[in-house]
Chain A
Amino acid sequence: MDTLNFIFTQILGEAYILLALVTLIGYIALKEPLSKAIAGSIKTAVGVLVLGVGSSKLTSTFGGLLDALNDKFGMTGVLLDTYSTMVATNDKLGEFVTWTVYTMLGAFIINIILVALRKYTKIRAVFLTGNVMLIQTAISTFIVYNFLHTSMLVTVLIASSITALYWGIMSTLLIKPVKEISGGADFTIGHQQMLGSLIAYKIAPKIGNKDDDIERIKLPNWLSIFQDNVVASSIVLLFFVTILMVALGKETVTTMAGGTNWIIYIVKTGLTLAVSLYILLTGVRMFVSELMYSFQGISEKILPGAVVAVDCAAVFGFAPKAVLLGFVGGAIGMIFGVVGLIVVGSPILIIPGFIPMFFDNAVIGIFANKRGGWKATLIITFCSGIIQVVGSGLAASALGINAWQGSFDWATIWLGIIYIFKCIGSFLGIC
């Protein structure tokens, strides 16, 4: 019994060992040499631990800021950032955090089964975006557990089924639109704004004219600095942290800063948040490509010829200017949403992050521009920015956490899923 206990709590209870084992098994199943399999699993383990370093740095930097906000105004701050949301929900899951890995594997398997049965399910796309799979399954595990308090097996089964259905249905619906924007490429997007992209694709022709294609217009050169993630996330975070700190007032910030000058402290806090996200991302990058390599290889073996759903960045090359225009429209919409929430007296203060601001509206912008030109792009991404802010505020307050994805689908589809589980939970008298 002691050995079993050791295996389940010490080995399989640690996410870095568990994910390293998944990589190892994946490589062996793909008949890669053992040396490569071992190297891959070591990189996975190190990557997961690096992610942990970034997570705790983020929690400590951001936590102080949120506490000050709460003390001064009684407001709860919510950061819109994908990885921070995973950090927040994983913290809440505590000792059950490894359940999220089983949900990820479960959702991958169910996705493959749904595609294998495509004659009946109509689902044709296999979701292979490792970073997104990791985050989404972690959060869905938490949503199910938070409202139902179910056992591991039931939680993992429910969370992986819902996530796999979301992946399969939404990315299959985007196969045709992606074909159109890419001029016939045979893949689809597996990301976080698939509903937003689909809506943009459907309504853009009614709002604008596709002959006003932004790709034919010259954009100011300075906008291109937003394509560099370190620069862009630093600027965005610095901007919102400065506003936040100025609202807190010089006195409060000086106390928080200790001996440091308060302006320097603001700059350092904004940049330190960017640093935490950068460390996080470095960790994720290290192990996600290992995981994706296995996932892709295994799905090709089981389901040759299935449509692959990959990171939204795969479509950026087809419309680089629409990417930037979408970002601008989305950023303005998000700021508008944040101010709007303050004006109506919301107890939640949304702090937009770069990832949902850029990636969501960039993709939505590509679909909008292709079908409705630059006017439709600006209008649709502006609205999407507002929806992202308001929907995320509702989702974060329903779950009681201080970070949310911020992405379009997570402010719409998943907001609905959260409310359904909340209703079921309260109907059963659980929460």
Chain B
Amino acid sequence: MIRILSICGNGMGTSTIIKIKVKGICKKLGIDVVVDSCSAGEAASFTSNTDLIITTPEWGKMIRYPEGTVLITLVNLMDEKTLTDKLVNTVKENFPDEIN
């Protein structure tokens, strides 16, 4: 199981959209995930229990996360194709046991 965290400024709009998209994509691909969302201000208290962070490029530059945690950044949150490609590549590269 991969633990995913989506992050944005308010912990509401962007991160919820990402969360719902990621849940849907992973369900289709049969990848077992738990997805949480939070605001950048709270991120530090979540990142130690996270395998994969998804956020926008601006937040990607600002948040700190432990070594070993993987980061994906997205400009167009609604672009399901790019998100799917990035997710699949990242999972294949970093969590090969989770995908077949």
Nearest-neighbour CB distance to chain B for A66, whole angstroms, equals 26
* Residue numbers in A under 8 Å from B75 (CB-CB): 317-318
Nearest-neighbour CB distance to chain B for A364, whole angstroms, equals 16
**Residues 375-392 of chain A: 1 if any B CB is under 8 Å from the residue's CB, otherwise 0?**
000000000000000000
Nearest-neighbour CB distance to chain B for A302, whole angstroms, equals 16
Whether B76 sits at the interface, judged by CB under 8 Å, is yes
Is A314's CB under 8 angstroms from B58's CB? no
Please report the C-alpha to C-alpha distance between residue A229 and residue B38 in the assembled complex, in whole angstroms. Answer: 11
Please report the C-alpha to C-alpha distance between residue A68 and residue B41 in the assembled complex, in whole angstroms. Answer: 33
Nearest-neighbour CB distance to chain B for A181, whole angstroms, equals 11
Q: How many residues of A contact B (CB 8 A)?
A: 32
* Residue numbers in A under 8 Å from B14 (CB-CB): 311, 313-314, 316-317
Please report the C-alpha to C-alpha distance between residue A285 and residue B62 in the assembled complex, in whole angstroms. Answer: 22
Given A186-B78, A320-B58: A227 and B12 interface contact (C-beta under 8 Å): no
Given A229-B11, A285-B11, A293-B23: A185 and B16 interface contact (C-beta under 8 Å): no
Whether B39 sits at the interface, judged by CB under 8 Å, is yes
* Residue numbers in B under 8 Å from A131 (CB-CB): 12-13
Is B17's CB under 8 angstroms from A318's CB? no
Is B77's CB under 8 angstroms from A230's CB? no
Is A317's CB under 8 angstroms from B58's CB? yes
Whether A272 sits at the interface, judged by CB under 8 Å, is no
Interface residues of B in 6-36 (CB under 8 A from A): 8-14, 16-17, 19-20, 23
Total residue contacts A-B, CB cutoff 8 A? 87
Is B58's CB under 8 angstroms from A292's CB? no
Whether A251 sits at the interface, judged by CB under 8 Å, is no
* Residue numbers in B under 8 Å from A129 (CB-CB): 13
* Nearest CB in chain B to that of A313: its residue: B13
Set B20, B58, B59: member contacting A296, Cβ < 8 A: B20
Please report the C-alpha to C-alpha distance between residue A186 and residue B79 in the assembled complex, in whole angstroms. Answer: 8
Set B8, B10, B58, B62: member contacting A281, Cβ < 8 A: B10
Set B12, B19, B41, B57: member contacting A228, Cβ < 8 A: B41
Is A231's CB under 8 angstroms from B11's CB? no
Interface residues of B in 24-75 (CB under 8 A from A): 37, 39-42, 56-59, 62, 74-75
Is B39's CB under 8 angstroms from A317's CB? no
Given A289-B19, A317-B57: A284 and B78 interface contact (C-beta under 8 Å): no
Is B74's CB under 8 angstroms from A317's CB? yes
| B interface with A by C-beta (< 8 Å) | 8-14, 16-17, 19-20, 23, 37, 39-42, 56-59, 62, 74-79
Give 3 closest A-B pairs by Cβ, nearest first.
Answer: A313-B13, A311-B13, A313-B14
